[in-house]
């Protein structure tokens, strides 16, 4: 676990937006890939990066739908890719590497709604772990040469405060038994953090640094799409009229505020020379190993030691390689 997992005093508040974080940052000549970059928080990330001058590529399962969602956003290219289809990941990465374009920023953001019952892909892999972690693991490794070519690149895995409650089911990551939606989500989000730790340890020598980022809770992007108004009211996420409650200090944010910590990880010069860290509220998060539970007034989202454990990070890397080979 890095001794550097402590706040920097970035100067940004929890209410800062992506545009606030990028104020004065010139990304002209910077190439970025944002998975899930056509909806929700990802769309806010894409638009903020392009406004700062970056050229953004958004890989999507349905490119036509993604292009329509992004509209006339300048400096954006949409390309086909499905994180649950390994061949499409390899094809996207191969095209990028063959173009010899450097890749300065990779934001692994895409996820699937938490299903009420277990869902599996064609390989039999549980879809949350397969999408949020394994698909991004495959994509990132396939883009190594492009990231190395940048001469200084950042990889940001979009995680969640739910990583605190996660445990990797080393012998049954795909929940062949005892499926629980919350546990599968937390496992996937923990994997995002552990992957950032392992990636940074392996690739820092190539000037590729990795971070995991918690965007906050943005209604409609991270929650089960089947949730009722009563559920959201109990969680303090909507008021009596069904309107989203925005309280950044309590972790309840707009999409633009949720995008801020992600672009902070991808671009902030305050993070130069650092990596393998978990970010929250536009800064490096403190470690808080207390047993905390979410309430309507507070959503625990700081780092926990087991998510930053180098041995577990290395073990997940090996497991991920094994699973991808087995599912090929």
8 Å CB contact between 272 and 211: no
Of 179, 185, 241, 278, which one is the catalytic site residue?
Answer: 185
Q: What is the largest CA-CA distance in the chain?
A: 54
DSSP 114-161: --SS--B-TTS-BHHIIIIIIIHHHHHHHTHHHHHHTTSEEEEEE--G
Assign residue 315 a region (left: φ > 0; alpha: ψ between -120 and 50; beta: otherwise).
Answer: alpha
Cβ atoms of 225 and 163 within 8 Å: the answer is no
Cα–Cα dist 273/263, whole Å:
17
CB-side neighbour CA atoms (13 Å) of 208:
27
Active site includes 278?
Answer: no
Tell me the C-alpha distance between 183 and 188, whole Å: 9
Query: Between the CA of residue 192 and those of 23, 147, 166, 197, 287, what are the distances in Å?
Result: 28, 18, 11, 9, 17
Whole-angstrom Cα distance, residue 153 to residue 36? 20
Q: Tokens representing 203?
A: 């690739």
Contact 1, 308 (CB under 8 A): yes
d(CA 59, CA 77): 8
Cα–Cα distance, 221 to 255 (Å, whole number): 9
Question: Hey, which residues are catalytic here?
Answer: 185
């Amino acid at each position: 676990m890095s001794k550097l997992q402590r706040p920097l005093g970035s100067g940004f508040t929890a209410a800062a937006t992506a545009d606030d974080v990028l104020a004065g940052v010139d990304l002209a000549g910077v190439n970025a890939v944002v998975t899930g970059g056509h909806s929700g928080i990802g769309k806010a990330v894409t638009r903020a990066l392009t406004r700062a001058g970056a050229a953004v590529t958004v890989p999507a399962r349905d490119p036509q739908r993604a292009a329509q969602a992004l509209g006339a956003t300048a400096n954006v290219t949409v390309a086909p890719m499905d994180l649950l289809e390994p061949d499409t990941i390899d094809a996207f990465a191969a095209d990028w590497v063959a173009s010899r374009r450097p890749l300065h920023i990779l934001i692994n953001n895409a996820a699937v709604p938490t299903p009420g019952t277990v869902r599996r892909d064609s390989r039999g892999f549980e879809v949350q772990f397969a999408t949020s972690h394994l698909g991004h693991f495959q994509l990132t490794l396939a883009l190594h040469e492009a990231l190395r070519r940048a001469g200084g690149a950042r990889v940001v895995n979009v995680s969640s405060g739910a990583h605190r409650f996660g445990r990797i089911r080393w012998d049954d990551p795909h929940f062949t038994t005892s499926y629980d939606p919350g546990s599968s989500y937390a496992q996937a989000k923990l994997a995002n953090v552990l992957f950032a730790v392992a990636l940074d340890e392996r690739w820092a020598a190539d000037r590729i640094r990795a971070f995991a980022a918690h965007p906050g809770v943005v209604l409609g992007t991270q929650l089960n799409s089947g949730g009722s108004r009563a559920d959201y009211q109990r969680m303090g996420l909507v008021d009596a009229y069904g309107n989203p409650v925005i309280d950044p200090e309590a972790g309840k944010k707009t999409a633009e505020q949720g995008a801020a910590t992600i672009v902070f990880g991808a671009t902030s010069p305050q993070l130069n020379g650092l990596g393998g860290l978990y970010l929250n509220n536009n800064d490096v998060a403190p470690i808080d190993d207390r047993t905390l539970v979410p309430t309507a007034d507070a959503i625990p989202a700081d780092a926990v030691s087991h998510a930053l454990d180098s041995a577990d990070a290395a073990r997940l890397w090996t497991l991920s390689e094994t699973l991808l080979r087995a599912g090929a």
